[in-house]
Every structure is written in structure tokens, then in C-alpha cells.
Structure 1
Amino acid sequence: MNGKRPASLAQEHEGRKDIVIFGVTGVTGQIVFEHALSRFNADQIVVAGRSRTKMEQTIKDSVNLHPVYESSVSQVQLVEADVSDHESLVKMCKTAKVVLNCVGPFRFFGEQVVKAAIEAKTHYMDISGEPLYLESIEAEWSEVARREGVWVVGSCAFDSIPNDLGLVNFKKEFPGELTGVESYLSFDSGPSGYVGNDGTWQSAIHGFANQGQLKALRKRQNFDPIRYPGPRLPNRGAYFKDPKLGYCVPFLGSDASVVLRTQRYFAFRDRSDPIRFKPYAVIGSLFSLCLMIIFGGLFSIFARYSTTRSLLKKYPRLFSYGFFSTGGPSRKQMEEASFTLYLRGEGYISSFERDNLNEQNQQQKPTVHATSIFRGPDAGYIGTSIIFLEAALCLLREPDSMPSDGGVYTPGVAFKDTTLIDRLRGSGFQIEVVSDQN
């Protein structure tokens, strides 16, 4: 590790708290705070938001739900900060070693916090699942963050650690040389059902409406093509039926973007073999697939035009067939929900076999198959909060296992040498590799 950066930051961070949670009065921010109380000493936690009164009420509500923390929450520091006030953001960031940003949509409110964190020499993490924001931050701020020795790591939650770091871990545990992975994400809403939060819905609207900006950004960067070993993954179309999981569709979240950035890093910076990757979502029944086609088509049309976009924003429950609402899920719904991510991998017994077969026949099929199963609690809030905080603990407790330079990194790059997978296994997640599951 570069010796100058840790020494200089150690001096900068002297007397600071461990973490500051920005956006604590939001639904996700509050749950992150509650889980932080079980992982950090209360006197090492700072919470930040626009209104001190609202923050005090959030803490009171959290204590009512978790009375065990009543005696310690008085040690939590409160700081007022607003994304429209740069100086307040810098002041907030200087209170801690790491800022955990929970304020979205990140395309509107994220870059301001990144800028303030770098200026304050505070490491930055967020829970964003917005590809345009994530890739823009890497393009605009990576060099500045590197010079300042600051780690900036986005998508450090359900988006996109299970797929991104899960794939890195799968490569280590795969019984051979892994060349390609298809991921299948399945949600279990539990007996009480589930309703997604309005914030996720709003991010999806803006993400779909601004796909052209993402394409333009990638075109300007003019990346060299990645050379993958092994054959291409199959093109499964707009939907298909898996014999074990039911109907599936391409997953339109940030995972494909994040994983691609990680694999590009491995290919060009680490000089290691990248892995092909395609993500899918499990829809299950034919009825659910039909609903998705109808409402997904309506969404794609309405999101293109400003007038109809306003209707999508105003009536999330109507235009999502009840899957999203301004209130989001109840605590009971969160506690009952869970997710399972199947990473289906293919490859060869060894790199020698792979290279030898490919020289003889480029269409030679992989000879080894295995599945990595990644199970966890409610993806949107509980699972996200746990993943986020365990990643923060890795950054704080295992700096020698983090990248040697500051910069903007994906989780798969930032945490590949840390104990994050083991931490998640010890925090209620099941992560295992099963051979011969194709």
C-alpha cells in the first residue's frame, strides 16, 4: 500500500467519528442508522439531514422500535446539512472518516456530496443504483479522489454488492476457470406482500428517460473493447422460461453497468481474465409476466415525455399496479421479505483446457458448471442497510486490503481483498457454491 496516503489521512481523520449517515430522516437512512447502532459505538456515529427537529424525531422513533438503544443514542452527534449548501456538506463530512450517503435520487443530489467529501478528505460510500450517476462520478472525480487519497465507492448495497462482489467471490470459489455468469434475481415478498418505495420509482423514471445521456457518456470515454476468454453467453431475448425458476426477463438495474466497470478494471488494470455477465430477474408466473409487459410498456412510453412523466411521478401506485407507493413497505413487510440471487457460472477445468479447446474450436462449450447462491433479507431496506454497514466496517477496519490509491471504485474492486463476504455470511446472508447446477 502507498505509505503516504494512509499517513496523511490518519492525520486528517484524527479526532473524527467513524461514520456520518447523511439522509437519516429518509426511510432507508433511518434503517441504516438503526443497524449502525448494533455495529458501531453510538459515540462514533454522526447523523445528518436538513432539519434537526426531524432528525430528533427519527432517533426517537428508532428508539421506540429498538428500546435497547435508549441509553446510548444521546451520544449520537447531529449535524444539519443540505445538498444546496456546499459549506454545510463539507462541515458534515469533516465530522467523520466515512460519509454514508442515503440521499437520492443520486443523479440530482449525489455529486454535491462526493465533491464535499473529497474536499474534506472523507471517504465516501452510497447506495445508488443509478448507472448514469455512478459512471459520471467515475469519469469526473476519479483523478481528483486519487490525488486526495479518498476512496469513493458507489452502489455499496443491494445495488450492487451481491452481483458485483458476489461474482468476484464466485470466481475464487468456482471449481475451475470461470468465464461466464448469468445471474437470476428472485424476490420473496412474504405473506404480507410488499410495496416498493417512491424513491426507487423516481430513480427508475429518470434513468429510463435519460438513457441517451448514458450512451453519450460512454461514447465520449471511448473505452477499448474487453477481450473475454470463453464463448459468448446466450442471447435469451426479452423474456424466456427457465425450467427451474419460471419466466425471466433481463434485469434493468445497475448491476450490469457496475459489473462491467469491475471487469474492465480487472482486464486493463489487474491484467486478469474478465468474466462475461448477464443479469436477469425472475418473474415467475405467466400472469406476472403479462402484467409486467403491460405496465412496463406503459412505463416506457410515459417516461419518454415530460408531461406523461409527471403522471408517473404523481401516481406511482397506479402506474406500477401497486408495486410502488409514496409510503413504501411497512416494517412487517420488510421483516418478512427476502431475496435469492443465483449466479450460474460456466467455465473450464483449467486455463490450459480453456485455451487449448478455444484454439481448436472457438465454439467449444464450457466443461464445468456451478451455481453460487446468495440469499438475504429484504433487499430494499434491511439487506441494503446490513450490506452498506458491513462494507463501511471493511473500509474502516481493513484499509490495507483496500485499493492502494484513492479514486472512484466499484464494490467488486474496492472490497475484493477484504473480509466483506465473510462478514455478510456472519450477518444473516447465505453465500455458497453448488457444483453441477446448470
Structure 2
Amino acid sequence: MSEERIDFVVLGASGFTGQFVVDEVARVIEEEGGNLKMAVAGRSMEKLQKVLSESSQRTGLNLEEKPIIICDVTSEESLAEMSKQAKVVLNCVGPYRFYGEQVVKACIENGAHHLDISGEPQYLERMQLLYSGKAREEDIYVVGACGFDSVPSDMGVAFLTEKFDGDLNSVEFFVTLHPGPDGLSGNITTLESALHGIAHAGELKPLRKTLFPTPLPQSQYKLQPKSAGFNKDIGHWCLNFPGSDRAIVNRSVRFDYEVNQKRPFQVGAYIQLPSFFYMVLTVIFGFIIGLMAKFSIGRSLVLKYPQIFTFGVFKHGGPSKKQIESSGFSITLIGKGWKDKLTDVDSQHDTPPDSKITVRVSGPEAGYVTTPIAMVQCALTLLKEVSKDKMSGGVYTTAALFRGTSLIDRLTKHNLKYEVVTEQGPI
């Protein structure tokens, strides 16, 4: 990869999330001594100039002379020209179902690593199916879900496995969003991605059958997940978490089994709610969105009037500055297994799990503070610590690629905290 290339190219820099990624890249370059280079990319020179100007004001850094690359994701030629100039492309253009594959393809063909912040399992798993072999041949790393989906949970599970001494049977994690006084809000692109994910959920089963033809060994001590109910381990009402996190972690588990010969374990993902009343409201909300997502006219109505259909959770223009600054998240992860370790990863324990550990990941607002931090630290770790001598190119989850690196330490220094809540002990 040419030394003249730009270290970080933020594609979609003028988008709602992209602008925050630009801020974070600029801050990290300053922290790293100013020796790294950045550029912004997108369709509009005027909008990109505005992003650099506004980012300069927010960060206190002079960014207005940073390179601007005009790039349209519908143009193979412009994507190729952008990719030839980059070491790492930080792709912030969604929904990735529509705009992701062409960027991945261009990066692989033109020598740039590719990171995105997608939370769309169909897109992520399709990229692994179609491009992992080609990326390996070209020594290019393609890493999806480098934002709140799913760095806290994926690296959180990796953190838990390192702290657990023995064989894990299951890891369940419980996501809690902590709103400030003005509540929570999300940008319309996130909602659009979710709607299309629901509408095309039927794609996942055949896709996974092709991608993962061989089932993993199954424990006889099965998780008993509930779609809704009171969870005694966590002491709260919970619902199945609809994000991509469980799918991402399962891919990491499979990678560890197939490549690193580590014992697989079961994964459960939930959203933690403050009361039975909130659980009921969330179920109603999910039912409405799920129903509307099945029809094109329904999706159009939700995207046209998001504040009505989502009770103000999503809106055009995204959350306010005050909402972003006052919100946060935490994820509690509970691992259960056996303190004794079997030598054969395919053999099974014949007694119930006897050991338990609890860890937690916490941080600032999920979508527009945590996501840029996670994405940029993944990109920096990729540049500084990952090489073909340690790991061949390919399409990876964050835990598959970054386990054993300093990523968790880097995230902790940037206000994403990984900690053991309860040391390993008897269940």
C-alpha cells in the first residue's frame, strides 16, 4: 500500500453521522502527534467545505485546508479514484443495503481497507460471503459494524471471555440506553436501515445457510431466551434486542471456533427496560414499526412522518446537541459456564454450568458520540497493529480482527469503559 496514501478518508462526511466522525478523526490525529493524514469525501464540494469549517469550530483545530475528494457512491470510477488515495476508508454512507457493496468492492480492488458502522445483518453477512476470499487475496481488511453496533457488545464479549477461567456455556448481554432530560432521538437514516432490515428479514436464513453450512457443536444446557419478560439475573424487564449485536457476536464465536479452535458458546441479547409499563409500550412500538415495514407505502409513511410513527424517537435532523451531550448507555454481560476446562473443544460437559461472571461496558451517547469514537479507534488500531503477518486480509467482525490488540485500552481512554462487575464465582 503506497505511503503517499491518506491515512483516513471519511466517506459521507457531510452526513449526520459523518460530521461527528470527522470531528473524532481530527481529535485523534492531534492526540497522535499530528503525523497522520485525513481527507473528507462525498458528492458536494460546498457541503464538504462546510463540514470542515464547522468541524474546525467544534474541535478548535484548523481543518479547512484538509483534502476534499469528490466521490459519488453510484459511480464506480469515482469510488475507484477515492479508494486509490486512501489507506482506510471510513464509510458513513447508509443505508448500506443500497450503498455499501459498491464501496467495499472498490476498496478491495484499489488497495484501501474498509470500515463501516452498519447495523444491517443482511448486508454484513452478504459482504462476508461475497468478498472475504477476494479481500484475503488482496490483503485488504473489511470490518463492518464498527460503531455502537457492535463494538461495545462484540468487544465486551471478547473482554468477558478473557476474564472467564474455564469453559463458557453462554453469554447474555443486556443493553440499556440512558436518556437525558430531553430524552433520546435518532437520525432518519438509522430508521430507514431498520425498516428495510425488517422488510427483508427473510433473506437471512438462506444467506446464513450458504455462509455457515456446518452447524456449531451444541451444548445440552440450552439457553431459555424469552422474547419478553422479567429476567432474574439482571432484575429488570427485558425484550429481545433487535439490533445486529447478537448476529455479530455469533460470527465472532464461529470465527474463534473455526480458526482459533476455541469452544463455542450460546449468545443472548436483550434490551433492558425500567418497568413493565415501558416494556408494553416498546412492544406496541415494535409492532407498529414491524407492520409498517412490510409494505413500501408503510415504509414511506414512517420515513415521511417519523416523529408520529416512532413517538418522537426518530426525526429528520437527528437528536439535538443537548440530547447527545446528556445521554449514555451501558451493557451488562453475564457469562455462565464451567470452572473446569475440557481439552477437546468438541466434547460436551455432562453437568450443569457451575460458574458465573458479570462484566459491564458503558459510555456516552450511543449513536453520535460512542459510534465515532469506536469507528476511529478501530481504524487507528487497524493502521498501527494489524498486519498480514498477524492476520490475513478478509471480512471480519471487530472481535475477530482486534482480539489481542490494544483496542479495548484505546476505547477505555476515550470514555468507553470495560470493567468486571462481579468476579467469577459459583452460580
TM tier, smaller: over 0.9
Alignment of 1:270-309 (within 5 A): 270-309=260-299
- One of 41, 61, 68 as aligned partner of 1:48: 41
1:389 and 2:373 matched = no
Q: Which amino acid aligns with 1:290?
A: V
The residue that corresponds to 1:13 in the other structure is: 2
The residue that corresponds to 2:414 in the other structure is: 427
CA shift for structure 1 position 430: 1.5
Gaps of 5+ in 2: none
CA shift for structure 1 position 181: 0.5
Alignment of 1:172-187 (within 5 A): 172-187=162-177
- One of 83, 93, 114 as aligned partner of 2:104: 114
2:262 counterpart SS class? coil
The 1:231–1:422 alpha-carbon spacing in structure 2 relative to 1, beyond 3 Å, is same
How many residues are matched? 420
The residue that corresponds to 1:61 in the other structure is: 54
- One of 54, 57, 71 as aligned partner of 1:81: 71
- Structure 2 Cα separation of the partners of residues 180 and 354 of structure 1: 18
- Structure 2 Cα separation of the partners of residues 252 and 294 of structure 1: 14
The 1:165–1:401 alpha-carbon spacing in structure 2 relative to 1, beyond 3 Å, is farther
The 1:402–1:386 alpha-carbon spacing in structure 2 relative to 1, beyond 3 Å, is farther
The residue that corresponds to 1:8 in the other structure is: none
- After superposition, the C-alpha distances for 1:284-330 in whole angstroms (9 at most, x for unaligned) are 22221121122211111111122222212211111111111112111
Q: Would you say the 8 A contact 1:255–1:279 is kept in 2?
A: yes
Q: Would you say the 8 A contact 2:135–2:393 is kept in 1?
A: yes
Q: Which amino acid aligns with 2:403?
A: K
Q: Which amino acid aligns with 2:321?
A: R
Alignment of 1:163-178 (within 5 A): 163-178=153-168
The residue that corresponds to 2:226 in the other structure is: 236
Range with greater deviation from structure 2 (395-404 or 123-132): 395-404
- Structure 1 Cα separation of the partners of residues 306 and 106 of structure 2: 33
The 1:346–1:116 alpha-carbon spacing in structure 2 relative to 1, beyond 3 Å, is same
1:32 and 2:26 matched = no
The residue that corresponds to 2:330 in the other structure is: 340
The 1:141–1:403 alpha-carbon spacing in structure 2 relative to 1, beyond 3 Å, is farther
Gaps of 5+ in 1: 1-11
Range with greater deviation from structure 2 (426-435 or 414-423): 426-435
CA shift for structure 1 position 263: 1.1
The 1:403–1:134 alpha-carbon spacing in structure 2 relative to 1, beyond 3 Å, is farther
Q: Would you say the 8 A contact 2:83–2:112 is kept in 1?
A: yes
CA shift for structure 1 position 219: 2.8
The residue that corresponds to 1:193 in the other structure is: 183
1:19 counterpart SS class? strand
Q: Would you say the 8 A contact 2:167–2:342 is kept in 1?
A: no
The 1:119–1:354 alpha-carbon spacing in structure 2 relative to 1, beyond 3 Å, is closer
- Structure 2 Cα separation of the partners of residues 50 and 43 of structure 1: 24
CA shift for structure 1 position 242: 4.4
CA shift for structure 1 position 200: 0.9
1:415 and 2:415 matched = no
The 1:345–1:241 alpha-carbon spacing in structure 2 relative to 1, beyond 3 Å, is closer
Q: Would you say the 8 A contact 2:9–2:90 is kept in 1?
A: yes
Q: Which amino acid aligns with 1:55?
A: L
Q: Would you say the 8 A contact 2:49–2:64 is kept in 1?
A: no
The 1:138–1:354 alpha-carbon spacing in structure 2 relative to 1, beyond 3 Å, is closer
Identity, % of aligned positions: 38
Q: Would you say the 8 A contact 1:43–1:77 is kept in 2?
A: no
- Structure 2 Cα separation of the partners of residues 412 and 246 of structure 1: 28
CA shift for structure 1 position 63: 2.2
- Structure 2 Cα separation of the partners of residues 402 and 345 of structure 1: 32
- Structure 1 Cα separation of the partners of residues 394 and 176 of structure 2: 33
- Structure 2 Cα separation of the partners of residues 384 and 403 of structure 1: 26
- Structure 2 Cα separation of the partners of residues 268 and 354 of structure 1: 13
- Structure 2 Cα separation of the partners of residues 324 and 160 of structure 1: 20
With the length of structure 2 as denominator, give the TM-score of the two structures: 0.93
- Structure 2 Cα separation of the partners of residues 115 and 436 of structure 1: 44
The residue that corresponds to 1:4 in the other structure is: none
Q: Which amino acid aligns with 1:54?
A: K
- Structure 2 Cα separation of the partners of residues 22 and 135 of structure 1: 21
The 1:183–1:402 alpha-carbon spacing in structure 2 relative to 1, beyond 3 Å, is farther
Q: Would you say the 8 A contact 2:16–2:317 is kept in 1?
A: no
Q: Which amino acid aligns with 1:59?
A: L
- One of 73, 79, 102 as aligned partner of 2:92: 102
CA shift for structure 1 position 43: 6.3
2:405 counterpart SS class? coil
Range with greater deviation from structure 2 (31-40 or 128-137): 31-40
- Structure 2 Cα separation of the partners of residues 129 and 344 of structure 1: 23
